[in-house]
A and B are shown apart, each in its own frame.
Chain A
Amino acid sequence: MLELAQSAFPQPMAGVTLAHYLVLSGAMFTLGLVGFITRRNLIIMFLCTELMFQAAGLALIAFSRYHLNLDGQTFVIFVLTVAAAEAAMALALVVLLFRRRESLSSEEWADLKG
């Protein structure tokens, strides 16, 4: 297992603990969650999932720094990949849905709940 080694790097970390980053990440995730629930525009809903991905990535990087272990950063590459794939698929679906009903409102599709 390789470990972080940057003794030349200045130490602006002092005073900021892991909990600070986790609280920030949690707040970002909550904003994304609230946005996903409340907004009715399909595109904005998917943009809010991207905000949740961001929060998860921040937590992963903070844990990676805390444990001085690079696996977290490697996993963030996966988060980016999944985010890109999700954006491509979701936006293709949004374009398809928009062509059907000429509207981006998620409530246009409320009849899907059966």
Chain B
Amino acid sequence: MLRVNEILSPILLYAACLIGAIGVALALPRRKPGIALIGGLVAIAGVGLGALALFLWAADAELLPSVFFYVFGLLALGSGLRMITHPRPVYSALYFILTIIASSGLYVILSAEFMAFALIIIYAGAIIITYLFVIMLATQAPTEDDEELLSTYDTEARDPLWSAAVGFVILAALTAVMFRGSDALPPVQASAGSHELLAQMPRKIERELRRSGAIRADEQVLTVDGVAQVDWDSRLVSLEGGNLAALPESFVTSNVEELGFNLLADHPMTIEIAGVILLMAMLGATVLARRQVDIEEAAKALQARRLSLREGASDA
């Protein structure tokens, strides 16, 4: 038996795609600024309809909806929309920072804390600041708040209707595929892999045991080749001298530790390759943006003579 929401939610999603397309097409910068505001409102209505469809779909699965997903998701989409529609480049970059902060909120919900912080530091802290510098280098910012002073290439979009239509047809096709047989996310739980990982960190175990008062200050965790001896069925740790100590149930690895082990144990070349890519980009950017200064032969000769005179003076 088909339930109502199984039919209703996809229809709502397609309607959301359509309304979103109309809204984005209207909101893109054009000569008459009044339409952009209406377009923005229509686009927000489309996003709201999409959220409603997702909400109904989740309610149908008899699960509690997560407030934070909707808050961060709407924030990301709203600021993304404002980013691609704002006529002033600096504001676009600032709205993109808002998108990044919302995405990092989503990363935290997905229990990827390290990547959430890395995202804010690298994107908002480094990449967008570079963009802002280039925007300030390459645009003559109007001092007054006057739309007339903006360049035409900023205030008029190219084919807004067609591109929005194409984009949102792609989105509708994507969502149609995504809604075939996707399950709820599995609960995060301790696994055999995390036990192995914990056993490789005897100092962390020792610190935790000291903190909870399970062992005295002079006792130490027994290690064989740097691996702590733990019986995971009873959660008992062997200590030097033959004693045993119980590990608390809540003692698990953190996302940063797991990511670190994954990065360095399973993918040891990742950091090296990333470093090479960044080095090449840095060299390329330096070579590309270098300003070629033409110095005349006479000026060169004069400078050389000055230098040699100065050297002669310091030698004497």
Listed in ascending order, the chain A residues whose CB lies under 8 Å from chain B are 1-9, 11-24, 26-35, 37-41, 43-44, 46-48, 50-51, 54, 57-58, 61-62, 64-66, 68, 70-71, 73-74, 76-78, 80-89, 91-96, 98-99, 103-107
Question: Do A43 and B131 touch across chains, with their CB atoms under 8 A apart?
Answer: yes
Residues in B with CB closer than 8 Å to A6 are 111, 188, 252, 254-255
Task: Name the interface size band of chain B.
Answer: 35 or more
Stretch at the interface among B81-89, B201-209, B225-233: B81-89
What is the CA–CA distance of A16 and B185 in the complex, to the nearest angstrom? 7
Listed in ascending order, the chain B residues whose CB lies under 8 Å from chain A are 13, 20, 24, 28, 47, 50, 54, 57-59, 61, 63-69, 73, 76-77, 80-81, 83-84, 89, 92-93, 96, 99-100, 103, 106-107, 109-112, 114-115, 118-119, 122-123, 126-127, 130-131, 134-135, 137-139, 151-154, 156-160, 163-164, 166-168, 170-171, 174-175, 178-179, 182-191, 193-194, 196-197, 250, 252-255, 258-259, 261-263, 265-267, 270, 273-274, 277-278, 280-282, 284-286, 288-289, 291
Residues in A with CB closer than 8 Å to B185 are 13, 16-18, 65-66
Question: Do A12 and B109 touch across chains, with their CB atoms under 8 A apart?
Answer: yes
Q: A6-B255, A38-B163, A94-B134 are in contact. Are A11 and B96 (CB under 8 A)?
A: no
Question: Do B114 and A73 touch across chains, with their CB atoms under 8 A apart?
Answer: yes
Residues in B with CB closer than 8 Å to A58 are 103, 106-107
Q: A37-B159, A68-B191, A88-B284 are in contact. Are A12 and B68 (CB under 8 A)?
A: yes
Q: A5-B258, A28-B76, A40-B153 are in contact. Are A64 and B28 (CB under 8 A)?
A: no
* Known pairs A15-B58, A50-B123 / 16 extra A-B pairs, C-beta < 8 Å: A4-B194, A15-B64, A19-B178, A21-B69, A26-B175, A31-B24, A31-B80, A33-B163, A43-B134, A47-B83, A57-B119, A84-B122, A88-B130, A92-B286, A92-B289, A96-B288
Question: Do B13 and A23 touch across chains, with their CB atoms under 8 A apart?
Answer: yes
Sorted nearest first, the 8 A-B pairs with minimum C-beta distance are: A35-B84, A5-B194, A85-B281, A105-B153, A15-B63, A92-B285, A37-B163, A92-B288
Residues in B with CB closer than 8 Å to A76 are 112, 115
What is the CA–CA distance of A95 and B290 in the complex, to the nearest angstrom? 10
What is the CA–CA distance of A3 and B137 in the complex, to the nearest angstrom? 46
Distance between B178 CB and nearest chain A CB, rounded to angstroms: 4
- Which residue in chain A gives the minimum CB-CB distance to B264? A74
Distance between B130 CB and nearest chain A CB, rounded to angstroms: 6
What is the CA–CA distance of A43 and B90 in the complex, to the nearest angstrom? 10
Q: B127 touches which one: A34, A50, A64 (CB < 8 A)? A: A50
What is the CA–CA distance of A95 and B286 in the complex, to the nearest angstrom? 11
Interface of B is mostly: helix
Q: A6-B254, A38-B157, A88-B281 are in contact. Are A80 and B188 (CB under 8 A)?
A: no
What is the CA–CA distance of A3 and B69 in the complex, to the nearest angstrom? 23
Residues in B with CB closer than 8 Å to A15 are 58-59, 61, 63-66, 184
What is the CA–CA distance of A70 and B285 in the complex, to the nearest angstrom? 32
Question: Do A71 and B255 touch across chains, with their CB atoms under 8 A apart?
Answer: no
Question: Do A54 and B100 touch across chains, with their CB atoms under 8 A apart?
Answer: yes
Q: A5-B194, A16-B65, A88-B281 are in contact. Are A105 and B163 (CB under 8 A)?
A: no
What is the CA–CA distance of A3 and B262 in the complex, to the nearest angstrom? 9
Question: Do B262 and A71 touch across chains, with their CB atoms under 8 A apart?
Answer: yes
Residues in B with CB closer than 8 Å to A1 are 193, 266
- Which residue in chain B gives the minimum CB-CB distance to A18? B182
What is the CA–CA distance of A54 and B126 in the complex, to the nearest angstrom? 15
Distance between A23 CB and nearest chain B CB, rounded to angstroms: 5
Distance between B80 CB and nearest chain A CB, rounded to angstroms: 5
